[in-house]
Amino acid sequence: MQFAQGSVVSGYVIERELGSGGMGTVYLARHPRLDRFDALKVLSAERSGDAGFRSGFFREAEIAARLQHPNLVTIHDRGEQDGRLWIAMQYIAGTDLAGLLRQGPLDIERALRILDETAAGLDEIHRAGLLHRDVKPANILIAASNGGAERVLVTDFGIARAADDSATLSAHGTVGTLAYAAPEQLAGDTVDHRADVYALGCTLYQMLTGTVPFRREGAGAIIYAHLHDPPPLVSQHDSALPKALDRVIASAMAKQPGDRFESCGAFAAAARDAVYGRARTPARSRRPWLLGAAIIALVAAVTVAAALVTSRDDGAGARKFLAVDPASVDPDRWGVYGYIAELFPRLLPPSQIGAGYQELSICQPMDEGDHQISLFTTVAEVRMVCLGNRDPVEGVDVVCRTDRKAILPGPLLDTVEGDESWQRSSGSGHVFWGHSLDSADFISHPLGQPIGFLEVLFEDSYRNFCRIQVVGGTGGAELRDRWWRDAPL
């Protein structure tokens, strides 16, 4: 049963069909009360009528609706009408990865960036105890932000099954989905998050070659290949691709789950290492705090295990002088750097891979030499590097001295466009802003285009040993107007 334009589903008014598949049909629909459009997925009669599927649908959709991550489509609501299940999601204007791949394979850097962001979204799903179970290009959306940079979002996870659900693909799968199905799904074995790692390996292969890994005639032949045939080599398809990448994809697509990467982020990091070499580290620039592409790649490799830490620094320090409400942070998930999360509770996410101010996420501590460190490693001066949503912020560094000695006033910028003193209920300080044309180190910033910088310094004693450095947009004035004005500091 399809819904025509003007049809009403639980108050949503159907505008047009966006796409359909084995799971159901997606419509652009006007919200019953708010002035906005949502993507409304109405599940097929087969899915809606499956008692086993229905029993977990509302529970898992509710869990998925709590997830807030820059690489996940937001789940708004779910329900049932006339026996048909539906789920309302954030509408993303743009295309999906399947649409991009119809034009041919992607260049290596674009493929790695899409892999990085997809992996970050999937790891967040896994952290919540869910499996996606249907990772494929059609479920990876590509949207352009206001600044023009691509944003990657994973969709259809709101109807994912719980991690302890042993249901297999064979009950409801389609030939299209079979192209990315892990062997254990096809064999009816227990499935965990590593089935999504396998599907992501198939997806990277397709991004680099323009074709699925196992092209066969008929479902039976596809299933046999997943179960028995070795993964094909991308280097044989394109000799310019490094052979080291063959080994990484083969590990992601290993027949046994235990032989695969433990997380999607680990797979993405290994793929980037295979392309650029393990010795590839961010170069020291004349602005040592510059958030470069290599640092972004390291940050994107943060895994769930690193986020779920249990120790903290309870010595004398920031907690004693805290003048802001820390209710939105969970310092136990920040290791010895829990005090930094407490100092900036509404700026930083609750955990490394949550979502903070303007979707700030995927935070990773770095030392003074721009080397990635663990949450348990104490250094004299730590840089907590976090990724922005590129609208307009590329990244935010929170730099703090571990000995809590005051940082000397003054900007690190080469070119300062403006500065001013500031005073808010939480404290006072100084802010500087400027720009640079040296944007080659930024993973998504157009080469040769100016990029903005902004620095925040603090005068109050409980956090004058920290400074905040923001990068993004086309100039410092844009960061001042669109980031600094409402920044929760």
Strand partners, 14: 29
Strand partners, 95: 142
Structure tokens at 95: 């295309």
Separation CA 279–CA 296 (nearest Å): 16
Query: Strand, helix or coil at 485?
Result: helix
10 Å Cβ neighbour count for 167?
17
- Output the CA torsion sign for 38, 42, 47, 48: positive
Task: Kindly give, in sequence order, each residue whose CB lies less than 8 Å from that of residue 408, ignoring residues fewer than 6 positions away.
Answer: none
Residue 39: C-alpha distances to residues 6, 62, 77, 273, 376 (Å): 15, 17, 11, 37, 42
Task: Kindly give, in sequence order, each residue whose CB lies less than 8 Å from that of residue 276, ignoring residues fewer than 6 positions away.
Answer: 294
10 Å Cβ neighbour count for 93?
9
Total residue length of the chain: 489
Closest Cα partner for 416 from 465, 460, 480, 481?
Answer: 480
Give the up-direction half-sphere exposure of residue 370: CA atoms within 13 A in the CB hemisphere. Answer: 18
Closest Cα partner for 244 from 440, 100, 108?
Answer: 108
Q: How does 54-84 read in b/e, with b if 16+ C-beta sit within 10 Å? A: eeebeebbebbbebbbbbbbbbbbbeeeeeb
Closest Cα partner for 271 from 443, 116, 440, 97?
Answer: 116
Separation CA 391–CA 147 (nearest Å): 6
Positions annotated as catalytic residues are: 134
Backbone phi and psi for residue 176, each to the nearest 5 degrees, phi listed first:
-60, -40
Task: Kindly give, in sequence order, each residue whose CB lies less than 8 Å from that of residue 330, ignoring residues fewer than 6 positions away.
Answer: 341, 350, 351
For residues 134 and 177, the answer to whether their CB atoms sit within 8 Å is yes
Query: Strand, helix or coil at 405?
Result: coil
For residues 192 and 163, the answer to whether their CB atoms sit within 8 Å is yes
Structure tokens at 169: 């693909």
What is the distance, to the nearest Å, from the Cα of residue 406 to the centroid of all Cα atoms in its chain? 34
10 Å Cβ neighbour count for 205?
28
